Amino acid sequence: MFRKTALAIAFIAVAVLITMANADQPFDKFLVGEVYRGPPVMPDFQGRDRDFKNYRTRIRNGIKEGPNFAGRYKVIQFGCGTGCSVVIVADVSTGRVYSFPHGGEYDQELRLDYRISSNLIRAWWVPNPDNIDRCSGEDFLLTDGHFVSLGRVGPAKCRRFD
């Protein structure tokens, strides 16, 4: 029994170290090709993108502004109450809409850091509203329409993005 417990603890420790090593990657490590400069394509709210129909005005307005993330995507973030925000990512070249893994009432004070030249997006949020100076963070790569986690950190002192 002791060996199984020790092995489980060792496995968890290694997983934590790998997660910490992958978190907080530089944006220029994940550069994308060209920035989409064509006409914006609107989502199909009657079909493929019907789950996002309630947010269609915000999504359409965001797409019209053009890409701001990973060459062809628009990150659209808007409030849903005190400290609450919803994040939707839309492909400006196809109109396809994606949910971001964080947002809503459980990810208070959500802050995002991203670049048009990189498919890395960094999220920081307050997991416990009783301690607003402590944040959790997670880095993601947008790959083939999926947000792949590079690791989660925290809770730690909240970061401020420049």
| pLDDT one-digit tens code per residue, 48-103 | 999 999 999 999 999 999 999 999 999 999 999 888 999 999 999 999 999 999 99
What integer pLDDT is reported at residue 12 of this predicted model? 33
The predicted-structure confidence for 115-160, as pLDDT tens digits, reads as follows 999 999 999 999 988 888 899 999 999 999 999 999 998 888 887 6
58 vs 146: CA distance, rounded Å: 21
Prediction pTM value? 0.81
Give the strand pairing for 134-143 and 146-157. Answer: antiparallel
Q: Residue 148 is inside which H or E element, if any? A: strand 146-157
Tokens of 64: 């019209």
150 vs 18: CA distance, rounded Å: 9
Cα 69–70–71 angle (5° rounding)?
95
Give the domain ranges of the chain.
2-157
Task: State the average pLDDT over residues 11-17.
Answer: 34
Q: Is 108:158 a contact under the CB 8 Å cutoff?
A: no
DSSP assigned state of 158: P
88 vs 97: CA distance, rounded Å: 7
* Model confidence band, residue 105 (pLDDT cutoffs 50, 70, 90): confident
